[in-house]
Amino acid sequence: MDQFIQLTVDALTLGSVYALIALGYTLVYGVLKLLNFAHGDVFMVGSFIGFGVLQVLGGTSDPVVPVWLLIVLITGAAMAGCAGLGVVIERFAYRPLRDAPRIAPLISALGVSFFLSNSMQLLFGATPRNYNTFDLSNGALYLKGLDIGNVRVPLLRIVTILSAFALMVALWFLVNRTRTGKAMRATSYDREAAAMMGIDIDRVIVFTFVLGSALAGAAGVMFALRVPTNVSIGFIAGLKGFTAAVIGGIGSIPGAMAGGLILGFAEAYSQGYISTKWSDLIVFSILIGFMIFRPQGLLGRADIRKV
Amino acid sequence: MSDSTPHGSRVPAEGPAVGQDEWVARHAERRLMRGGVLGSVEERLRRVPWWAWLVLFVAAFSLLPVFEGSGYVRRVAFDTVLYMLLALGLNVVVGWGGLLDLGYVAFYGIGAYAYALLDSDKFGVHLPSLVAVPLIVVIGAVAGLLLGLPSRRLSGDYLAIVTLFFLQLFQTITTNGDSMFGHNVTGGPNGILNVDPFHLFGHDLAVQHGGVFAVSYLYVALGFFVVVFVALRFVNHSRTGRAWRSLREDPLAAEAMGMPVNWLKLMSFSFGAAVAAFTGTIYAALAASVFPLTFYFVLLITVYTMVILGGSGSQAGVVAGALIVSPLLEMLRDGSKSRVIFFVILVAALALAALRSRTLAIVALATIAFGFVVHAVCGAIDSSWIAGEHGGGFAGFTDHWVVAPEHLARWIAPVSYIGVICATLLVTVARGRLRLVLLVPTIYLAAFVWENVMLAKPEPTRFIVLGLILIALMILRPNGLLGERRVEII
């Protein structure tokens, strides 16, 4: 039972990070019908921006600001930095290819991904960067927390999960309850018709990249608060986020959240009960299962091809 | 247009072959040829049959070891042939089938691992090469079919994710295969060692000959290359090849015309996988060992760059892509060579630009002058700023041009690198005179970064170059060097 609770907490943490990454994929796919391979690397850059700002603010052992503000600041900086990066990538790598054959932006995205991870390695090396969050207020984030049965859920986990969900709720409101969100939905439904209705497509697409990349930046910091980050995490994180988006139904926002959580649960439980090594295999089987039996994903619409 | 036009003449065409559309067959006839000497040379070259080019190319390649005795050069040549094979295989899937297969190198790995398991001391199996290699080709083709099966209904993006995950899975299985149900199957991260060399007609093909890389493997690889090239060319000119092209251009229309779309997709997957597995065997036999990380994302991007650079869809194109990228990557390993490459490309670009228009000539001259001025000013302020190590490119000419500080402060690398990216992006959006003015410092900054930041770390630099080639090609020339521009009907 204790192990079950522990694994569930792990699953939620992991799942919320995956869900945030998946949201970036799904948002961009929704408006551009493009799988943004570089998204995983934006996530990685986010974790590095967080690390840099953390060092500027004095590191975890001797921060110059209160702990809560520190976490808010590094997350905010990572979100802002990644949003900027996302805009630049869109402007220079994808916009010129908007009317090219479908495979062209995908290959460009592969190039951007490769360029980003190797540029980071050139500048910062391959050594892992550890946030050392245990040093924050003498380990209070780990030692204090919520007791469920015999298991103590550390404060850091609770904060991570709650803030991830807060971000998702905020995104849901933004997309469903604001004018810009309406424009995004219209663009994703039919880009040409939306343009004819007077929606500035370029602005909507840029805004989508801002949202998606900012979420990736937040996810990067959340990830790095728990485990050390390095320049090559982008590939696996991107792959998992991507899978989560597909499982949930690519293009669907609640789908991405559900997909992320499913993936988190599948991975945590399979690591806990079956084997750490083979959890990728189990996730892959789930993906293949979805591909065969429900290719449109959990909450996605079946694609109708028009001639 | 009549034959008497001063600028050109028509190409006489033979009648269409069976199974060909007349309008398509005569498309060359409708094309206007270039006039003058150039035109007649072009015309002559066009009439040389494809097999003559192939013979010429292979003959030239196989003469290389005669002129160049160093084992290193031979090894690079061998690697290049392997890359050409890999590019040919990927071209089937991407160029002809139009499917984005990101798990391609996993099949290469499957071939290599299969060979290692069937011909090594690992399980004491030593199949003769003439049995093992065809068997592995079949294994590769079947593996391709199996991966294709769940993906058959999927279009581009979904296929990309399934295949990319497949690559990841291949990594997981080979890295953790040292305790698979209690057995050590793949040797885990340590791989499989002591793989047999090829054993043909009662002889072992030794990898080393008197301490130098033996040429025999180069010739075996070239033989593989000819077989694969010719076989794929026949496939491409068969019914299947034409069906692939129609599938690529418009899957929906192809389906409506009664083509077995799913089966065609599976076929192209399977062909690509078989070629990759085939190539894997010779790699394993030569390297005498296999490790999981050889078959990963980096190799995937490298092969993709070759196919895209050469022009996906064109066999000659992807071979050319491999011929360019493979030696380029090899030279970028070495600081002094990559310095020369950079300046050669820079000077060539400046010279070409200068030839094209007078404004660009001024920009070229301004860039050169700018460098000397900056160098002189920096030297006057603090001599340690220019005291760094120089390569002496162009007879020491560049030593007085690029600033190279003795000690690089830690902030310089990120700031200048990010600066050169921003400057380049600015140049691409700026218009008119501003663009020309911005171009000068951008080129100089790029030279500075290359000399001081990137040369010190060849490993990421090589791959940054690959990534840049991919992005730039997609934007500037998506059809590559020799590929034909595709028309997509939406």
pLDDT given for residue A304 in this prediction: 57
- Asked casually if ipTM beats, i.e. exceeds, 0.90, the reply is no
**Nearest CA distance, B35 vs chain A (angstrom):** 33
Band (pLDDT 50/70/90 cuts) for residue B8 is: very low
pLDDT given for residue B202 in this prediction: 66
A229-243, B168-182, B311-325, B464-478 — which is least confidently predicted?
B168-182
Contact (CB, 8 A) for A122 and B465: no
Number of residues in chain B: 490
Domains and their CATH numbers in chain B? 1-47 (no CATH), 50-332 (1.10.3470), 337-456 (no CATH)
Band (pLDDT 50/70/90 cuts) for residue B156 is: low
Higher pLDDT, A271 or B6: A271
Counting residues of chain B whose pLDDT is more than 70, the rounded percentage is 87
Band (pLDDT 50/70/90 cuts) for residue B349 is: confident
Q: Does B392 score more than 60 pLDDT?
A: no
Band (pLDDT 50/70/90 cuts) for residue B153 is: low
pLDDT digits over A6-44, tens only?
899 999 999 999 999 999 999 998 888 888 889 999 999
pLDDT given for residue A39 in this prediction: 95
Of B156, B460, B471, the CB nearest to A106: B156
pLDDT given for residue B4 in this prediction: 43
Residues with Cβ within 8 Å of residue A261, at least 6 apart in sequence: A11, A12, A15, A16, A18, A19
A278: nearest CA partner in chain B: B172
Pairing mode, strands A145-148 and B203-204? unpaired
- Give mean pLDDT, residues B467-483: 86
Q: Which sign does the torsion angle of CA B302, B304, B308, B312 carry? A: positive
Instruction: Name chain B contacts of A119, Cβ cutoff 8 Å.
Output: 417, 460, 464
pLDDT given for residue B1 in this prediction: 39
Instruction: Name chain A contacts of B413, Cβ cutoff 8 Å.
Output: 122-123
Q: Does B474 contact A281 at a Cβ distance shorter than 8 Å?
A: no
Q: Does A106 contact B414 at a Cβ distance shorter than 8 Å?
A: no
Q: Does B9 score more than 50 pLDDT?
A: no
Mutation pick from B475, B488, B490 vs chain A, by most beta carbons of A within 10 Å, is B475
Beta-bridged to residue B203, according to DSSP, are B200
Contact (CB, 8 A) for A5 and A148: yes
Band (pLDDT 50/70/90 cuts) for residue B3 is: very low
Q: Does A102 contact B252 at a Cβ distance shorter than 8 Å?
A: no
Q: What are phi and psi of B102, to 5 degrees?
A: -95, 5
pLDDT digits over B419-434, tens only?
999 999 999 888 888 8
Enumerate residue ranges in chain A where pLDDT < 70. 302-307
Q: Does B331 score more than 70 pLDDT?
A: yes
Contact (CB, 8 A) for B92 and B144: no
Domain ranges of chain A: 17-242
A235: nearest CA partner in chain B: B297
Of A108, A121, A123, the CB nearest to B471: A108
Tokens of A109: 């995205």
Instruction: Name chain B contacts of A88, Cβ cutoff 8 Å.
Output: 425
> How many CB pairs (< 8 A) connect A and B?
139
Contact (CB, 8 A) for A98 and B437: no
B428: nearest CA partner in chain A: A92
Q: Does B168 contact A236 at a Cβ distance shorter than 8 Å?
A: yes
pLDDT given for residue B487 in this prediction: 52
pLDDT digits over B238-250, tens only?
988 888 888 887 7
Q: Does B325 score more than 80 pLDDT?
A: yes
Nearest to A52, CA basis, from B414, B463, B456, B409: B414
Q: Does B162 contact A107 at a Cβ distance shorter than 8 Å?
A: no
**Nearest-angstrom CA–CA distance, A97 and B475:** 6
pLDDT digits over B190-212, tens only?
888 888 888 777 677 777 766 66
- Give mean pLDDT, residues B120-140: 87
Band (pLDDT 50/70/90 cuts) for residue B24 is: low
Q: Does B417 contact A280 at a Cβ distance shorter than 8 Å?
A: no
Q: Does B172 contact A122 at a Cβ distance shorter than 8 Å?
A: no
Specify the DSSP element, H or E, that contains A153.
Answer: strand A151-154
Q: Does B176 contact A88 at a Cβ distance shorter than 8 Å?
A: no
Instruction: Name chain A contacts of B466, Cβ cutoff 8 Å.
Output: 111, 114
Q: Does B485 score more than 80 pLDDT?
A: no
Contact (CB, 8 A) for A165 and A17: no
pLDDT given for residue B110 in this prediction: 95
**Nearest CA distance, B376 vs chain A (angstrom):** 28
